[in-house]
Amino acid sequence: MLALAILNGCAALDHGILNAQGPVASHERHLLLLVSGILLFVWVPVVILVPLIAWHYRRSNTNDAYRPKWAFSWTLEGFIWIPPIGIVVLLAILLWPATQRDDPYTRRAGQGEPVRVQAIALNWKWVFIYPGEGVATVNQLAVPAGRPIHVSLTSGTVMQSLLLPQLAGQVYAMAGMRTRMNFAVDRPGIFRGENTQFSGEKFAQQKFPVISMTGPAYAAWLARARGTGRPLDQRAWAALSRQNTTGPQTFSAVPPKFFDHVIAATGGASHPHAGHRSAMRKAS
């Protein structure tokens, strides 16, 4: 029974970073394990010393020293201040390059052509536009395994946050603005994506599958999508903009610069700095 419970418990962790399925997430998992290892040097001494010293120097123990006026020692001060400073310096040395390397804005090298995806957060669904391929999906993100995925994000409603627990971290999607995220998937499979920023009534249901496919399967999927004969037109967009939930959908065509129009329509036009972070950081 207990074994079963523990086994069940580990099943939960399979949905997260410890079961990383892409290069970004693998970096992050590696960093997590490394940092946790270092932090054991902070945690273990305290967990040992607190009960040990409290118990040894308990009032009823008459076999220990009692020095009520002893309250300072330069040696101990050294032990107290220097190791934590050392650990923080060490972590800082780790943190700096890791933050540069795992910056969600940094494009990933991968096998083959990058796939561009434009994600739009709506209540309570995600729209994914493939500007290169001219198709769009709702509540499913189909990607070819191995190839780098460049995601641009915005929101057609309140602020949301796109998290791919096993593939990458998360980045906010904000109306009138463009943020970016880059990742790749190691192998074909189905992984979870979700909004983690509370966005209203059906927030809990705002989850979608990331479907990673082999190259040929992805090509076949694109062909099928183009063949549905259902474009993302005004009517379809009006339906999506309503506050509701929906199952996965596929659109065969998308008007040009649709994503930019959404940014402009939700405030970007009057924004003096519309998309300025992407402009500022186009080098990446």
Partner 1 sequence: MQTAYSPIWPAVLGRFTWHDLPFVRAWENPNASEIIGAGAASLVIIGFVITVALLTRYRRWGTLVEWVTSLDHKKIGIMYVAIALVMLSRAVVEAVLMRMQQAAAIGDPGFLSSDHFSQLFSTHGSIMVFFMAMPFLTGVINYVMPLQIGARDMAFPWANSVALSLTGGGAILMMVSLVVGRFSTGGWSGYPPYTGLAFSPDVGPDYWIWAVTLGSIGSTLGGINIACTIFKLRAPGMTYMRMPMFCWTSLCTSILMIFAMPPLTVATALLALDRYLGFHFFTNDLGGNMMNYANLFWLFGHPEVYILILPAFGIYSEVVSTFSSKELYGYVSLVLATMAIAVLSFTVWVHHFFTMGQSANINTVFGIATMTIGVPTGVKIYDWIWTMFRGEVRFSVPMLYSLAFMVTFVIGGFTGIILAIPPLDYVFHNTLFLVAHFHNMLIPGLLYGLLAGYTYWFPKAFGVRLNERWGRIAFACWVIGFYLAFMPLYVLGASGMARRTSEIFEPDFRPWLYVAGAGALVILCALASLVVQLVVSIRERDANRVFAGDPWDGRSLEWSTSSPPPEYNFAVIPHVDGRDPFYDGKRDNGHYRRHAHYDAISVPRNSVTSLSIGVAGLGAAFGLVWHMWWLAIIAVLGIVAALILRSFVRDTHRTIPAAEVAETEHRWHDALNAATPIGRDVEFTPRNQGLAETAA
CA–CA gap between residue 180 and residue 151 (Å, rounded): 6
Beta carbons within 10 angstroms of residue 152's beta carbon: 21
> Which residue is it, tokens 């107290």?
80
Torsion angle of alpha carbons 107, 112, 114, 117, nearest 10°?
Answer: -130
**Interface positions, 242-271, toward partner 1 (CB under 8 A):** 266-267, 270-271
Q: Pick the binder of partner 1 from 1, 71, 109, 238 (CB under 8 A).
A: 71
On whether the CB atoms of residues 165 and 207 are closer than 8 A, the answer is no
Which residue, 135, 104, 125, is CA-closest to 255?
A: 135
Instruction: Output the smallest distance, CB 56 to partner 1, in A.
Output: 9
| Residue 2 in the binding site for partner 1 (CB under 8 A) | no
> Which residue is it, tokens 């904000």?
174
Q: Pick the binder of partner 1 from 165, 211, 221, 249 (CB under 8 A).
A: 165
Instruction: Output the smallest distance, CB 228 to partner 1, in A.
Output: 27
Instruction: Output the smallest distance, CB 140 to partner 1, in A.
Output: 15
Instruction: Output the smallest distance, CB 229 to partner 1, in A.
Output: 31
Write the DSSP assignment of 212-247 as a string of letters. Answer: EE-HHHHHHHHHHHHTT-----HHHHHHHHSS----
> Residue 147: what residue type?
R
| Residue 76 in the binding site for partner 1 (CB under 8 A) | yes
- Both structure tokens of 241: 């903009």
| Residue 88 in the binding site for partner 1 (CB under 8 A) | yes
| Residue 103 in the binding site for partner 1 (CB under 8 A) | yes
Q: Pick the binder of partner 1 from 26, 42, 108, 248 (CB under 8 A).
A: 42
Instruction: Output the smallest distance, CB 150 to partner 1, in A.
Output: 14
Total residues belonging to the chain: 284
Please work out the total of residues on this chain that contact partner 1, with binding judged by CB under 8 A.
104
The interface mask with partner 1, positions 173-212, x = CB under 8 A, is: -xxxx-xx-----------x-xxxxxxxxxxxx-x-----
Comparing CB distances to partner 1, the nearer of 38 and 239 is 38
Comparing CB distances to partner 1, the nearer of 33 and 223 is 33
List 249's β-bridge partners, or say none. Answer: 138
